[in-house]
Amino acid sequence: MTSVTNVSGTTASLTLNGSSVPLGDSTTPHTTTLDWLRDQGLTGSKEGCAEGECGACAIMVARPGADGTSATEWVAVNSCLVPVAALDGQDVVTVEGLGTIDRLHPVQQELADRGGSQCGYCTPGFVCSMAAEFYRGGRARAEPHHAAGQIGPNGFDLHAVSGNLCRCTGYRPIRDAAFALGLPEDSDPLAQRCHAEPTPARHTRLVGDGAEFVRPADLPEALRLLAERPDAVLLAGSTDVGVELNLRGSRPKVLIAVDRLPELRGLQFADDEVRIGAALTLTEIERKLDGRVPLLTQLFPQFASPLIRGGATLGGNLGTASPIGDATAALLALEASLVLSGSGGERVVPLSDYFTGYRKTLRRPDELIREIRIPLPLAGLTAFHKIAKRRFDDISGVAVAFALDVVDGTVARARIGLGGVAATPIRALRTESALEGMPWTRESVEAVASVLAAEGTPLSDHRASGPYRSAMLGQSLLKLHAQSGTTPQDVR
């Protein structure tokens, strides 16, 4: 039996395509949004993979505007990964809400006119990803034809669909449709929604199937719950938890949603550090930083897809404690520290001390990550190299993050974070000491490359062999040097 009344006494519901729809008695804390939608008869959203890889399940959710151009923005996410309870009270639009047979949405019209759909299985997901980009506030001001054809003359960023796969049409007609889109009409209700305030998060408690989903009102309530229920699983963007639910059959007894806690959603530039809330999504961080932390600017486009980045958080990346977490490698090079909040207070822990073993950390069960702190000033020469089988939307074989200061041709300071070469993300400490004090020349870098190649204990698996991983480490330093030229600066 499911309790569908949330704590504020309101029936748990979504505003779905403009109408309020109760979650209903059969919804459990583990019911994914995709399954729930299809149970409502909205079968436009499809399941291709159930693990965030194909985008056939994409929907749009109204979220607080991240770059200051609008109060609210439409964010496309993978509905297969997000428990529907996490969307209680939120505005959700599916492909069914974007147009009618008599009056297609501009995105649908362009796809139809340019032959952007054949079997149509992927099309609803493409439509939702493209529509979120269609409504993006900053789109009209983008530089046309920037980054080798990635941005269209209409400011449309093709990366918006890099998490959507199509098996039969071929991507050119889809790109043509994207680049043909105009701007939304003023009377378009979804464009108007962007000027209105975002929907506040609801104080939700949903019980069913022997489990409980709770969205606490604030941090103290979250910490109290965590102290009472050490078996609870924290939920932010659900891009890892959702995969566990769908593919590994995990059924946590308690899910505590932290993604809308105000205490975890700040971003400040102080004199001596940047403070980033653990529950800001990667898309929000990218927009809010606006290039001010160049190493992270390089990381974001290489991290999964926009569909994933619209939900994924740094708290989740560090919470997963994966040895191949991309953000972790970058944050290690930036010498970040974590603010851990627990019922007994807060403590600040250097990220380099945080990992204690394979997927183990020194975070206690009653603690959560509230904030990530990056010390200032930043290093002058930074780069993030992700070695993966695909250029975008792939998990790293090896991730290497560099943060170097080169002064008068000599390496004054070196910090290097590595993912994929040990049981935990690590700092390349031997390479850092070998580099410091050395001239930043091809000869010395060649000598130190072999030190970097010997860092860690890389394993062979289906992503890459151990020797390949080691070779890529060494190559990465050579690549950094080649890219930095004679006047080292941030390189890509």
Ligand X SMILES: Cc1cc2nc3c(=O)[nH]c(=O)nc-3n(C[C@H](O)[C@H](O)[C@H](O)COP(=O)(O)OP(=O)(O)OC[C@H]3O[C@@H](n4cnc5c(N)ncnc54)[C@H](O)[C@@H]3O)c2cc1C
Residues that bind ligand X in the complex, under the rule CB under 6 A: 51-53, 233-241, 243, 258, 278-279, 303-304, 308, 311-313, 315-317, 319-320, 325-327, 368-369, 395
Q: Maximum distance among all alpha carbons in the chain?
A: 70
Instruction: Return the number of other C-beta atoms located less than 10 Å from residue 7's C-beta.
Output: 16
Question: Cα–Cα distance between 420 and 399 in angstroms, integer?
Answer: 6
Q: Which does 311 bind (CB under 5 to 8 A by kind): ligand X, ligand FES, none?
A: ligand X
Q: Which two tokens stand for residue 248?
A: 């590994």
Site for ligand FES contains 53 (CB under 6 A): yes
Q: Which does 47 bind (CB under 5 to 8 A by kind): ligand FES, ligand X, none?
A: ligand FES
Least distance to ligand X from the beta carbon of 55, Å?
9
DSSP H/E element including 329: helix 326-333
Q: Kindly tell me which of 112 and 362 has the beta carbon lying closer to ligand FES.
A: 112
Closest residue (Cβ) to ligand X?
Answer: 316
Choose the stretch contacting ligand FES; rule: CB under 6 A; options: 42-50, 251-259, 393-401, 430-438: 42-50
Choose the stretch contacting ligand FES; rule: CB under 6 A; options: 55-63, 258-266, 338-346, 377-385: 55-63
Starting at the earlier edge strand, list the strands of the sheet with 337-342. Answer: 267-269, 273-277, 367-375, 337-342, 345-350
- State the Cα torsion 386-389-391-395 to the nearest 10°: -60
Binding positions for ligand FES, 103-122, rule CB under 6 A: 117-122
The answer to whether 64 and 71 have CB atoms below 8 angstroms apart is yes
Q: Which does 323 bind (CB under 5 to 8 A by kind): ligand X, ligand FES, none?
A: none
Question: Cα–Cα distance between 427 and 418 in angstroms, integer?
Answer: 6
Q: Kindly tell me which of 152 and 325 has the beta carbon lying closer to ligand X.
A: 325
Least distance to ligand X from the beta carbon of 317, Å?
3
19-22/72-78 β-pairing = unpaired
Q: Which does 233 bind (CB under 5 to 8 A by kind): ligand FES, ligand X, none?
A: ligand X
Q: Kindly tell me which of 310 and 488 has the beta carbon lying closer to ligand X.
A: 310
Q: Is 132 exposed, middle or buried (0-12, 13-18, 19+ CB in 10 A)?
A: buried
* Options 29, 44, 52, 419; binder of ligand FES; rule CB under 6 A: 52
Choose the stretch contacting ligand FES; rule: CB under 6 A; options: 129-137, 164-172, 291-299, 309-317: 164-172
Q: Kindly tell me which of 133 and 326 has the beta carbon lying closer to ligand X.
A: 326
Q: Using alpha carbons only, what angle is made at residue 74 by residues 190 and 95, rounded to the nearest 5 degrees?
A: 70
Preceding peptide of 377 cis, ω within 30°: yes
**Distance (Å) of CA 104 to CA 127, 151, 335:** 11, 24, 50
Q: Kindly tell me which of 94 and 341 has the beta carbon lying closer to ligand FES.
A: 94
Least distance to ligand FES from the beta carbon of 54, Å?
3
The answer to whether 71 and 198 have CB atoms below 8 angstroms apart is yes
Q: Which does 207 bind (CB under 5 to 8 A by kind): ligand FES, ligand X, none?
A: none
Residues that bind ligand FES (CB under 6 A): 47-50, 52-57, 78, 80, 117-123, 166-169
